[in-house]
Chain A
């Protein structure tokens, strides 16, 4: 069974601060997704990374995939109250027939205070 660890579990910061959340596994991912989930809603896809060392940017969000494809980070610059939410990473392992199964971390609950 592949496990996916996210840290920190909770993060409360002031508006304008920077932050980084982490996603780690002992296994190599075939792909990794970051989602954001708000209370009472479903996860919304932010980004997918598949290549080791890949960096993707989405406005103030920067996503990095580790060279060995075992870990990933999400960095938010100048956080705003609208960034508040649960950030989930989800990984798939193995090629071919079984890499459709997403395994989710428990998430990082981010609160950005005005």
Chain B
């Protein structure tokens, strides 16, 4: 049973370019979360999505960042016109539909995408 798959594992972009990060949740999971880990800081919640719906994007910067989880295919976190301050590790997590597990807030994480902005 494959875990949460993120790609690419490492991404290098120049300032002003776009970064596109992909996340495929665990099989049977329909809830996806994105977190960002800045150097010397803990993981911070960004956005919570279900298929074709953004449930909570309160942790997303207001500009340049967007996320989607289409009916088919992986969830995508898109950062437009990247700046050096966007350099961080971006983690995706997923949780199952099961209400009992959702109530316990059990989330399984991928290995992350390390974004470096030159």
Q: Which residues of A contact B (CB under 8 A)?
A: 4, 30-31, 33, 35, 40-45, 48, 50, 88, 90, 92, 98-107
Contacts and interface: CB of A to CB of B under 8 A. Distances in A.
Given A30-B105, A92-B105, A100-B55, 16 more contacts: A33-B107, A35-B109, A40-B111, A42-B112, A45-B109, A88-B42, A90-B43, A98-B56, A99-B103, A100-B107, A102-B105, A104-B35, A104-B43, A104-B44, A105-B42, A106-B41
B22 interface: no
Contacts of A98: 56
A43 B59 CA distance: 19
Interface in B4-25: 4, 6
In the A-B complex, the 8 residue pairs with the smallest Cβ-Cβ separation, listed nearest first, are: A42-B109, A104-B42, A104-B43, A92-B105, A106-B42, A31-B105, A42-B111, A101-B45
Interface of B: 4, 6, 31, 33, 35, 41-45, 48, 55-56, 59, 91, 93, 95, 102-112, 114
B33 A45 contact: no
B111 A41 contact: yes
Nearest to A89: B42
Contacts of B108: 45
Nearest to A32: B105
Main secondary structure of the interface of B (DSSP, over half): strand
Given A30-B105, A31-B104, A43-B91, A102 B45 contact: yes
A44 B109 contact: yes
Contacts, number: 69
B43, B93, B109: which has the most chain A beta carbons within 10 Å? B43
Contacts of B102: 100
Given A42-B91, A42-B111, A100-B33, A33 B45 contact: no
A32 to B, nearest CB: 9
A40, A43, A103: which has the most chain B beta carbons within 10 Å? A43
Contacts of B105: 30-31, 33, 48, 92, 99-100, 102
